[in-house]
């Protein structure tokens, strides 16, 4: 029998235990901020695992109230670590908290990925009959799917190493996510818990930043944000998002940037849609159009843009067709044509779709209403060579342009290092660079978000709050681009099935099957890219087929629940079919806000 070499009396043993505890405390204090952040992430990942396991254990026995309470507890744990999961493991984040819709990957559009995660689980937990046995089976099964992802994340913990720059970057991106998707209701479509969950996100942000000894002013501003979303008696529809963004959220972002400078934490060296060093994604220069361009895109020098604009207006691109890009994209109409659809170059025919604006066309990852190409350079080629649209041959265009001395000079200035500057690739690159330069992010809304709160009236502010809340517009037209580019990375462009009728008065669905025509994927039947709402008041008529002439008609369509709300058979509709319940005054407020999205330079049109 082994005996201890030393025996300690009770007081001595207590003293030694106290010293051990003290040494442990010192060891914790000696941990770097990123090590503490890693511990925080690991703790909440473990707690998410525990909560999901507990949820699964009571999936059949808990009453509806307890079931929903357990769901909320799991979501709160996920919100604590969302900043890191989204940043380091975006695929797992999509599987844990993506939209409750089937997906396809850009690199493999034929493979359909079924939805999974919290939003799927939320539909079951908040179903009309959550106590149904089949429903409880679905709850149990979905938790299984989520636990698989959590276990995968736990396996990655030993290999995960944070850096100061990455933690600040991840937190900033998560704040963008909160403002664009969190407070719009995107994250919580059935539970309607967007504001409580926003509070958890803000609390987590504050706790992690406190590990870095940031200035107290930053923590105070984040606490103000948290207080704003947890005010007593506050409801989702009552929440003043405009006030929150201007008075709480944007100052918090400014304080975050100041803290990063003060602590000498570098910015990540990443090429992204929103520049990592931008103080906010509302800043005038926050978005980088080069992110959306191919690697061989022409630099937007004055010479390239001058050439691109000249070619944009040049009928020679259409050969004998006599049509230029500017024939359909008219600058005085915000680069649209004001027509339901334009005429085809083929006799007696029309083009199938409405002409979209080119303003901010470069700030998206897909072009055309069906998203069939990714880059503007490819769109230029597709339009010019389309027999119905321009009927040209880009391979023949260089020879035609060389006959004009003006182009000899413009190409030589734009592509001075090329042995043969007048070429088919350079035509595409110059026109694409010009279109990419048509970025307009200086509307009265933008000025309001940058601090000039006098530029919007009360109706317009109400309209913004409705757009981002009750009207559910912001769950598809993501702020601040208000198109389908998904925040906070804006690296994917979404399409939706709305159920648009053939005409404003027709009782039939429009025949155009949209994105379905590309790959034959069932859930994409009648799907079209979500367009920008910026300058929308300048670009009637509306929808992919120009069915509606006025914004009032468009708001009525959405208010009634899209095509299904009109009684049309749209089995793949992604737009919620439930009526929004907007009053006439609320619809007019939304329209007033949409008019405030006209860029200041374009309002004379």
pLDDT class of 605 with cuts at 50, 70, 90: very low
3-state secondary structure at position 108: strand
Q: Are 58 and 70 in contact (CB under 8 A)?
A: yes
The yes-or-no verdict on residue 500 having pLDDT over 90 is yes
444-595 carries CATH number 1.10.760.10:
yes
pLDDT at res. 497: 97
Alpha helices (H) along 263-349: 302-312, 325-328
Average pLDDT score over residue span 442-455:
97
Between the CA of residue 492 and those of 99, 106, 174, 350, 484, what are the distances in Å?
Answer: 14, 8, 17, 31, 8
Average pLDDT score over residue span 239-243:
98
Give the Cα separation of 386 and 397 in Å (integer): 14
The yes-or-no verdict on residue 427 having pLDDT over 90 is yes
pLDDT at res. 4: 47
Cβ-based neighbours of 272, under 8 Å, separated by 6 or more: 288, 291, 489
| Strand partners for 443 | 599
The yes-or-no verdict on residue 6 having pLDDT over 90 is no
Cis peptide before 488 (omega within 30 of 0): yes
pLDDT 10s digits, 525-575? 999 999 999 999 999 999 999 999 999 999 999 999 999 999 999 999 999
The yes-or-no verdict on residue 103 having pLDDT over 90 is no
Give the Cα separation of 256 and 252 in Å (integer): 6
pLDDT class of 130 with cuts at 50, 70, 90: confident
3-state secondary structure at position 529: strand
pLDDT 10s digits, 194-233? 999 999 999 999 999 999 999 999 999 999 999 999 999 9
Q: Could you tell me how many helices (H) and strands (E) the chain has, helices first?
A: 23, 4
What does the angle CA 574 – CA 174 – CA 443 come to, to the nearest 5 degrees? 70
pLDDT at res. 502: 95
Least confident of 117-131, 161-175, 447-461, 465-479: 117-131
Q: Which CATH number is 290-436's, of 3.40.30.10, 1.10.150.20, 1.10.760.10, 3.40.50.300?
A: 1.10.760.10
pLDDT 10s digits, 393-407? 999 999 999 999 999
The yes-or-no verdict on residue 16 having pLDDT over 70 is no
Token duo for residue 409? 């000079």
pLDDT class of 5 with cuts at 50, 70, 90: very low
**Arithmetic mean of pLDDT over the chain:** 93
Average pLDDT score over residue span 315-338:
92
Between the CA of residue 34 and those of 79, 158, 535, what are the distances in Å?
Answer: 19, 14, 43
Give the Cα separation of 463 and 57 in Å (integer): 44
Domain spanning 27-162: which CATH class is it, in words?
A: mainly alpha
Q: Of 76, 80, 54, which is closest to residue 67 (Cα–Cα)? A: 54
pLDDT 10s digits, 21-72? 555 455 556 899 999 999 999 999 999 999 999 999 999 999 999 999 999 9
Cβ-based neighbours of 506, under 8 Å, separated by 6 or more: 547
The yes-or-no verdict on residue 11 having pLDDT over 70 is no
DSSP 495: E
């Amino acid at each position: 029998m082994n005996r201890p070499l030393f025996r300690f009396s009770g007081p001595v043993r207590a003293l030694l235990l106290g010293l051990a505890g003290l040494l442990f405390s010192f060891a914790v204090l000696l941990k770097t901020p990123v090590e503490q952040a890693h511990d925080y992430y690991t703790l909440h990942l473990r707690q998410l695992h525990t909560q999901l396991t507990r949820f699964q254990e009571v999936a059949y026995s808990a009453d509806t109230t307890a079931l929903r309470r357990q769901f909320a507890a799991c979501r709160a744990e996920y919100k604590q670590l969302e900043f890191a999961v989204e940043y380091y493991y975006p695929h797992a984040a999509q599987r844990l908290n993506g939209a409750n819709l089937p997906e396809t990957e850009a690199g493999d559009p034929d493979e359909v990925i079924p939805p999974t995660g919290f939003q799927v689980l939320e539909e079951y937990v908040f179903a009309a009959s959550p106590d149904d046995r089949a429903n409880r089976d679905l709850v149990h099964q979905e938790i299984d799917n989520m636990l698989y992802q959590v276990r995968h994340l736990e396996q990655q913990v030993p290999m995960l190493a944070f850096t100061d720059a990455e933690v600040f970057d991840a937190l900033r991106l998560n704040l963008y996510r909160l403002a664009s998707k969190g407070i719009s209701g995107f994250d919580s479509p059935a539970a309607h818990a967007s504001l409580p969950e926003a509070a958890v996100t803000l609390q987590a942000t504050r706790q992690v930043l406190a590990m870095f000894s940031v200035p107290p002013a930053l923590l105070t501003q984040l606490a103000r944000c948290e207080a704003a979303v947890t005010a007593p008696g506050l409801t989702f529809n009552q929440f003043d998002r405009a006030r929150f963004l201007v008075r709480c959220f944007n100052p918090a972002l400014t304080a975050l940037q100041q803290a990063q400078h003060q602590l000498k934490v570098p910015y990540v060296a990443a090429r992204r849609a929103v520049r990592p060093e931008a103080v906010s994604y509302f800043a005038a220069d926050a978005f980088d159009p080069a992110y959306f361009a191919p690697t061989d895109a022409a630099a937007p020098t004055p010479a390239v843009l001058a050439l691109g604009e000249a070619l944009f207006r040049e009928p020679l691109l259409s050969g004998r067709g006599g049509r230029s890009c500017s024939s359909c994209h008219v600058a005085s109409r915000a680069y649209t044509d004001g027509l339901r659809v334009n005429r085809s170059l083929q006799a007696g025919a029309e083009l199938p779709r409405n002409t979209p604006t080119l303003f901010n066309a470069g700030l998206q990852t897909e072009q055309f209403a069906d998203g069939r190409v990714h880059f503007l350079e490819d769109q230029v080629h597709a339009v010019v060579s389309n027999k119905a649209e321009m009927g040209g041959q880009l391979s023949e265009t260089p020879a035609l342009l060389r006959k004009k001395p003006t182009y000899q000079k413009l190409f030589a200035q734009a592509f001075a290092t090329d042995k043969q500057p007048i070429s088919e690739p350079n035509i595409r690159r110059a026109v694409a660079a010009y279109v990419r330069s048509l970025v307009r992010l200086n509307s009265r809304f933008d000025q309001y978000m940058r601090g000039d709160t006098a530029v919007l009236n009360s109706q317009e502010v109400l309209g913004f709050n409705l757009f981002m809340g009750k009207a559910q517009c912001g769950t598809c037209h993501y702020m601040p681009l208000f198109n389908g580019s998904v925040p906070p990375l804006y690296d994917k462009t979404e399409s939706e099935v709305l159920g648009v009728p053939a005409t404003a008065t027709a009782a039939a669905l429009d025949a155009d099957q949209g994105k379905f025509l590309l790959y034959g994927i069932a859930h994409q039947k009648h799907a079209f890219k979500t367009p920008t709402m910026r300058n929308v008041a300048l670009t009637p008529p509306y929808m992919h087929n120009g069915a509606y002439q006025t914004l009032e008609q468009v708001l009525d369509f959405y208010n009634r629940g899209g095509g299904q709300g009109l009684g049309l058979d749209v089995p793949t509709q992604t737009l919620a079919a439930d009526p929004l319940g907007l009053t006439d005054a609320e619809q007019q407020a939304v329209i007033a806000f949409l008019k405030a999205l006209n860029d200041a330079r374009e309002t004379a049109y």
